[in-house]
Amino acid sequence: MLHRALGAIVVLLAILVSACEQVEPAATLAREVTELQVSTKTLQASDWQLQFTAYGHFESTEEVTISVDFSGTVEKVLFRDGQNVRAGDLLIELDDQKQQLRVRQSQASLLKARTELEKSRTTFFRYRDLMTTGALSREQLKQGESDYERARASVEEAEAALALAEQDLRETRIISPVDGVVEQRLVELGQTVMPGNPLAIVQVADTLRVVTYVSEREVNQLRLGDEASVSSPAVPGKLMSARVELVSSAADLETGNFTVKLTVSNTQRLLRPGMSAQVNMRGIVRKDVLVVDKKYLVDRNRRRVIFIYRDGVAREVEPSFGAGVGDQLPVLAGLSAGDELIVSHLDSLVDGRVLSVSGVQK
């Protein structure tokens, strides 16, 4: 009986020893299931420049209204609506008979004034010589000098009148003051035009302005003089340089956006006011910015979070981001340089999960 009891005890002890020996492999297996091997990327600060796209339209930088300062009859009209013109191109000829008569009359007046000047000059110098000999009174000398000064003033007046008459004659041939495109023709052959009447409107064409709009997140990124690039469906495949010339100081009350204007060279005349434009702009350069790719963000309960490897486990972080470029988001808060961003097995991560690092990306 005692022998059987001892045997039972021995068997029981053997079972207990066997059970104890199996505890360690089970714990190891559980740890292997819990621990996840991941790759990380060390966050490093660098320069950052926001890039963004806006849409708008082209408009003329300047409009020139052509008119005359005198009345006249139109004899020739040498342009049409929409025509490209160059500075100095002849646009309109007016009847110049009156102007030619005024020029001849002014020339005759000037010739007479110069003749009188020469006579008074001769008289004045003769009086001055006689004064030294005592043969002439001081009053007579003063009278001769006064006549000489009046004659000189008359010549100057006649010269000015001739210059004005010649200018009026030249202006009967009306030329374009700028390179541009005729927006409106406002005159017809045989029409009598009055001083100040508009005859044509020419839009300066070598330089155009792009009008576009940016959001409140983007407006503080821009500075006057910043460079940008512009494209238009009207000129496929062509990228044009532009420069910021105005950034609105107040938002539009209806849209909340800010107006931005840029100048664009148009020497090839490929663009026209009213055409649509796409503007690619760059913001100010910010120093020491952390950047995270959107693909490393994970949705957790309607929140965009990332995971950091810290002290052997995954730590959930919800950073603040600024406006990005493509898939790159600048970090405003929540992360620091040197943090190890987890970049693999993102769907399997939870806060506090034990990890091991299998590799570090650059």
Burial category of 331 from C-beta neighbours within 10 Å (exposed 0-12, middle 13-18, buried 19 and up): buried
In the chain, alpha helices (H):
2-34, 97-133, 138-170, 216-219
Give the HSE-up count for residue 152: Cα atoms under 13 Å, Cβ half-sphere: 9
- Residue 122 sits in which domain range? 96-171
Residues 41 and 106 placed together within one structural domain of the fold: no
Tokens of 242: 């532009």
pLDDT at 264: 92
Note whether residue 43 is domain-resident: yes
CATH number at residue 220: 2.40.30.170
Q: How many domains does the chain have?
A: 3
Is 10 inside a domain boundary?
A: no
276 and 298 co-located in one domain: no
Q: How many CB atoms sit inside 10 A of residue 242's CB?
A: 24
| Number of neighbouring beta carbons within 10 Å of residue 91 | 22
Same domain, 207 and 283: yes
- Is residue 74 domain-resident? no
Domain identity same for 167 and 103? yes
CA–CA separation, 81 and 105 (whole Å) = 38
On the 0-12 / 13-18 / 19+ scale of CB atoms within 10 A, 175 is middle
Q: Are 269 and 84 in contact (CB under 8 A)?
A: yes
Residue 8 lies in a domain: no
Q: Are residues 316 and 267 in the same domain?
A: no
Cα separation, 336 vs 355, whole angstroms: 20
Looking at 237, 266, 287, which one is the last position of a domain? 287
Q: Is residue 27 part of a domain?
A: no
pLDDT for the residue numbered 126: 79
Tokens of 183: 């927006």
| Pair 269, 316 in one domain | no
What per-residue confidence (pLDDT) applies to 4?
53
Answer yes or no: is 302 within a domain: yes
pLDDT at residue 359 in the model: 66
Residue finishing a domain among 265, 287, 309: 287
Task: Give residue 107's pLDDT.
Answer: 93
**CATH number of the domain within which 339 lies:** 2.40.420.20
270-284 as b/e: b if 16+ CB within 10 A: ebbbebebbbebbbe
- Residue numbers in the chain where pLDDT is lower than 70: 1-34, 134, 323, 325, 359, 362
256, part of any domain: yes
User: Do residue 309 and residue 334 come from a single domain?
Assistant: yes
Predicted confidence at residue 244, as pLDDT, reads 92
Domain boundary among 126, 147, 171: 171
Same domain, 312 and 253: no
Question: Is 238 inside a domain boundary?
Answer: yes
Residue 353 CA neighbour count, 13 Å, CB half = 22
Q: Do 269 and 294 reside in the same domain of the chain? A: no
User: Are 211 and 281 members of one domain?
Assistant: yes
- Determine the Cα–Cα distance for residues 310 and 40; give it in Å rounded to an integer: 11
- Cβ neighbors of 214 (< 8 A, separation 6 or more) are 52, 54, 222, 257, 258, 260, 281
CATH number, position 146 = 1.10.287.470
Tokens of 263: 């100048």
Tell me the whole-structure pTM to 2 decimals: 0.53
Residue 110, classified by CB atoms within 10 Å of its CB into exposed (0-12), middle (13-18) or buried (19+), is buried
Same domain, 316 and 280: no
Do 283 and 303 fall within a single domain?
no
